[in-house]
Amino acid sequence: MPAASPKVTVAAAFYRYGLFVVVLFLLLTFSLFNRNFVSGANAVNLLQQTASTGIAASGLVFVMVAGGIDISLGSTMFLSSVIVASAANAGAGLWPSFAIAIGCGALVGVVNGVCVALLRIVPLIVTLASLYAVRGVALSITGIQSVDFFNPVGDAVAYVRLGGVVPVVVVISAATLVLSQLVLSRTLYGRQLYAIGNNASGARVMGVAVRRNVFLSYVICGALAGLAGMVSGAQVGSITPSFSEGQEFIIITSAILGGVSLFGGKGTVLPGAFLGVLIIMCIENGLVMAGANMYLYTIVRGFVIFLAVMLDCLRNTGELR
């Protein structure tokens, strides 16, 4: 069928490079409206803003590639930020604080992972339950008060710039993104997750330890959500009871926009999910600059979620999973 092949390659090219085009388009549009947009300072600014979402999204990619989902991310971030802020206020040092935040998130991941991989409960239900339960636990710790993160640890994470130029949060997020992508594409564990997401029973017959791998994916996802919570908490400084509420949907939407499939087996952290995060951030920034009112934000977010899922479904008609 020679007549059909050019069409196919155009579609393939769109799937491959379409995201870059969208990001470029958004950046261009905003720079037209605002001359400061394409400055170095604003670029750093944008990267700072994407840091926590990017970190959480890279964890989510592990889960989604294996065909799962985690909607408890926002609550996990809240719990870890509350605990790490309190610990730092009580005098915990920088490195122990990181360990606390990551450990906290990993613990939530262990619970999710046990329910999904061992008890075989549907991931959406498991993480819906932990979405509420985890936030409840965190609220009972704070007594529904705000927790301040204005301490040396918080400052070190949020304000310090390495060499006076690159903010610490940008370094943390870059390292997380690169490492996650490396694990996904260059280790057997990562490749096996893709296989599981494509055909779990086939992977089992091939001798892949499906349950263990899926369990681990939730632990990784939780741990990175914990780290993201700490970064985000340090940036806002004061952790209110509604901190990170609904954040999971922004993270999930970013991942899907970036080509990570809800159906499993497909997607990358770099460039995929990261580009998705950039797109979402650009849109939100644009709305701020345009001075749009609050209601519009929610409407636009809803529309973007719809668009992302629709694209994902379109990409999944056919065998190309």
Partner 1 sequence: MTPHPLELRRIRKSFSGVKVLKDIDLVLPDKGAILGLVGENGAGKSTLMNVLGGVLPRDSGELLLDGLPYHPAGPVDADRAGIAIIHQELNLFSNMTIAENLYLTGAPGTRLHLLSYRAMNRAARAELARVGLDLNPATRVSELSMGVRQLVEIAKALSREARIVVFDEPTTSLATHEKERLFRLIRELSEKGVSIIYISHALDDVLALCHHVAVLRDGTLVGQSPVREMTKERMIAMMVGRKLDQLFPWVPKRPGEVLLRVDGLGQGSIFRDVSLGLRAGEIVGMFGLMGAGRSELLRAVYGVDPFDAGRVLFRGAPVRRPEPSWWVEHGVAYITENRREEGLLMPKTVKENLVLANLRRLRRTLGAVDTRREERESEEAIGRLRIKTYDKARQAVRMLSGGNQQKVVIGKWLVTRPTVFLVDEPTRGVDVGAKFEIYSHLNALAGEGSAVLFVSSEMEELMGVCDRILVLSRGRLAGELARPEFDQHRLLELAIGGHDARSVA
Rounded Cα distance between 96 and 12, Å, is: 46
Which one of 186, 238, 299, 306 is in contact with partner 1 (CB under 8 A)? 186
Minimal distance, residue 206 CB to partner 1, in Å: 6
Minimal distance, residue 190 CB to partner 1, in Å: 9
Q: Is the dihedral of CA 7, 8, 10, 14 positive or negative?
A: positive
Note whether 199 binds partner 1 by CB under 8 A.
yes
Minimal distance, residue 8 CB to partner 1, in Å: 11
- Can you tell me which residue has the tokens 């408890």? 72
Phi, psi (degrees; rounded to nearest 5) at 194: -60, -40
- Our CB check for partner 1 shows the closer of 226 and 264 to be 264
Rounded Cα distance between 18 and 8, Å, is: 14
In contact, 254 and 307? CB cutoff 8 Å: no
DSSP 8-state code for residue 270: I
Q: Residue 236 burial (CB < 10 Å; 0-12/13-18/19+)? A: middle
Which one of 208, 223, 273, 280 is in contact with partner 1 (CB under 8 A)? 208
Note whether 163 binds partner 1 by CB under 8 A.
no
Rounded Cα distance between 105 and 103, Å, is: 5
Kindly indicate which of the ranges 24-32, 115-123, 186-194, 283-291 contains the residues binding partner 1, using the contact rule CB under 8 A.
186-194
Which one of 21, 162, 179, 205 is in contact with partner 1 (CB under 8 A)? 205
Rounded Cα distance between 84 and 69, Å, is: 25
Minimal distance, residue 192 CB to partner 1, in Å: 6
Which one of 191, 238, 242, 303 is in contact with partner 1 (CB under 8 A)? 191
The interface with partner 1 within residues 108-137 (CB under 8 A) comprises none
Minimal distance, residue 281 CB to partner 1, in Å: 28
Kindly indicate which of the ranges 97-105, 120-128, 184-192, 224-232 contains the residues binding partner 1, using the contact rule CB under 8 A.
184-192
Minimal distance, residue 182 CB to partner 1, in Å: 7
Size (the chain), residues = 321
Kindly indicate which of the ranges 36-44, 55-63, 202-210, 270-278 contains the residues binding partner 1, using the contact rule CB under 8 A.
202-210
Phi, psi (degrees; rounded to nearest 5) at 308: -60, -45
- Our CB check for partner 1 shows the closer of 79 and 200 to be 200
23-29 long-range contacts (CB < 8 A, ≥24 apart) are: 23/275, 23/278, 23/279, 23/282, 26/279, 26/282, 26/283, 26/286, 27/282, 29/286
The interface with partner 1 within residues 258-277 (CB under 8 A) comprises 265-266
Q: Which residues bind to partner 1, rule: CB under 8 A? A: 182, 186-188, 191-192, 194-195, 197-199, 202-208, 265-266, 319-321
